[in-house]
Amino acid sequence: MRHAHVQLFLSLIGLALIILGILVFWLPEVDQPTLTAPLVCLSTIFAIFWCVPLARSHIDGRIDWFHPAILFMLIYVVYFIFPGVWLWLYHNYHSIWVNIGNRPAFTVNSVFVLGVVSILFFGLGSQTKPIMSRKPIVDWSNQGYQIRWKEMRYLILVFLVIGGVFKYYHFTLFGSLTTDIFRYLSPSVRNSSGIYLSQFFIMLESMLDWAALLAVFYYIVRYKKTEKTNGWPLVFLIVVTVFLVDYVLSAKRSGVIPLILLPLIWYHYIIRRLSIGRAGVFFLAGIFLIAGLLMARIALPLLVQNLAPTEYIGKNASGILAFYVDSGELSTFDLIAASVVQRDELLKQIGGPIWGFLKYSFSTLIIFIPRAIWPDKPIYEDLSHVYYRFLIGSNPGIGFAPTLWGTSFLLFHLVGLVVGMYVLGWLFKSAYSIFQPQRSSPFDVFLYSIFYWMAFQFVRFGTTGFVIVMFVQSMFIGVLAVFLLYRKRRAVAIRFMQGNKANE
């Protein structure tokens, strides 16, 4: 009965959204503002009630808050709905980044309609039969294979030394280790420094990160087996130290967020499932952390130059909020609008839809070719850089994330959006069905956490090319490590799997 009520509710919401969509494309500009509020409210409600049930576990009937459908919904709310509402209410339908035409209210409303279409087809894809079943992988992973935990301890020490040496060398490139190093948190200072690091160097650097992450993973699994807590203070200290080092060296939140997100996913599946309350707290904490790291990247370079950050980022809470939202971090709705309004001009910049799709999906594979073999190997340019150059002006190394919504519409118009979101939902469901992290071994949970992080980056940036670069630079070493450690050890594997079944 409850399921029938939800279906009826969704049908009514869907009917109302269809009517609103027709009105958006029928009414003149002067009447468009009356449609925005109901369109925003109903599309948000539709996204929640359409996506959340997709994450319900068939094992215990509870919602899995690390399900890909929940991830997609959260990205939609944070990077689509929120910036769209900000553009509507705070900027009165006018973007500070993009010229959205002489019918701004219609443009904003039509982009919201595209968002509803994307949610609909993502959900339909998520209800399609997975690409493959779990059974072959279960058969393979249950043939007595298990991570060799004793060898992992030695590998952590090796990674700690090698990664630490390369991180230290990276520090020396910035000059003396004084507070002036915080100037390099500024993208403009970093770009003008002339410091270049090869992909191989960055991969070796990431060993320090994986020393910390593998230590956390090791202690989480050990706690699951023995409930021993000794050693956690040292692990916590290592993670905090690596977090600070990475933030200063990379000036990127994507370089430090995995140090928090991946252990949280491991805890969720191996130790204790997160309730809706705990998940909500962690989500809000993550939002504040991401915002705080961005503001620190702006404020610290100003402080070391004896400049007052309040003169640049605002003197009160409302001013700081306005600065943050308008800084480009949440310009995603504007970029989707640019993909709609300025599609022809953007396509010229990337050489057309077919060439653009191929280039920004696969050209990063050249990172696997050493520069010693190809000395003149070109530096990869992401689609986000093209958006920034076209909309703002030339500035190497800086980009605007167009999201999967903007990219799919840019390349193949409405068909691209519909097919792309359907396939995304299908692939997300297939990945979740393959890994089945709720009842799998730590090995599967480990790999699923990396998939989850890469999935977020793909939806946010919209190109597989960027995801390939990020995976090679930051995730490849960790994946390689666990595959090297994953060996046949039947007795231990069986005991662990039996323990998991007993706890379900």
Query: Can you give the pLDDT at residue 138?
Result: 47
Dihedral of CA atoms 75, 416, 419, 366 in degrees, nearest 10, equals: -80
Q: Is residue 363 within 8 Å of residue 465, measured between CB atoms?
A: yes
pLDDT in tens, 191-247: 666 677 777 888 899 999 999 999 999 999 988 888 777 778 888 898 999 999 888
**Residue 16 Cα distances to 73, 81, 83, 414, angstroms:** 20, 18, 23, 21
Q: Is residue 297 within 8 Å of residue 251, measured between CB atoms?
A: yes
Gap between the Cα atoms of 56 and 461, Å rounded? 27
What does residue 178 show for φ and ψ, rounded to 5 degrees? -120, 180
Question: Quick one: how far is CA 7 from the chain centroid?
Answer: 30
Q: Is residue 115 within 8 Å of residue 408, measured between CB atoms?
A: no
Query: Can you give the pLDDT at residue 277?
Result: 86
- Which residues have C-beta within 8 Å of that of residue 92, sequence separation ≥ 6? none
pLDDT beneath 70: ranges in the chain: 1-3, 132-145, 179, 187-194, 394-397, 488-504
Joined tokens for residue 271: 């130790």
Gap between the Cα atoms of 350 and 36, Å rounded? 32
Joined tokens for residue 9: 């509710």
Cβ burial of 462 (10 Å; 0-12, 13-18, 19+) is buried
Question: Quick one: how far is CA 70 from the chain centroid?
Answer: 13
Number of other residues whose CB lies within 10 A of the CB of residue 463: 26
Q: Where are the alpha helices (DSSP H) in 382-489?
A: 383-391, 403-435, 442-461, 464-470, 476-485
Cβ burial of 30 (10 Å; 0-12, 13-18, 19+) is exposed
Cβ burial of 277 (10 Å; 0-12, 13-18, 19+) is exposed
The pTM is what? 0.90
Gap between the Cα atoms of 43 and 22, Å rounded? 14
Query: Can you give the pLDDT at residue 143?
Result: 52
**∠ Cα 115 109 408 (to 5°):** 35
pLDDT in tens, 28-54: 999 999 999 999 999 999 999 999 999
- Which residues have C-beta within 8 Å of that of residue 89, sequence separation ≥ 6? none
Gap between the Cα atoms of 322 and 31, Å rounded? 27
- SS3 for 25? coil
Gap between the Cα atoms of 346 and 381, Å rounded? 15
Gap between the Cα atoms of 84 and 333, Å rounded? 5
Query: Can you give the pLDDT at residue 416?
Result: 94
Gap between the Cα atoms of 391 and 359, Å rounded? 20
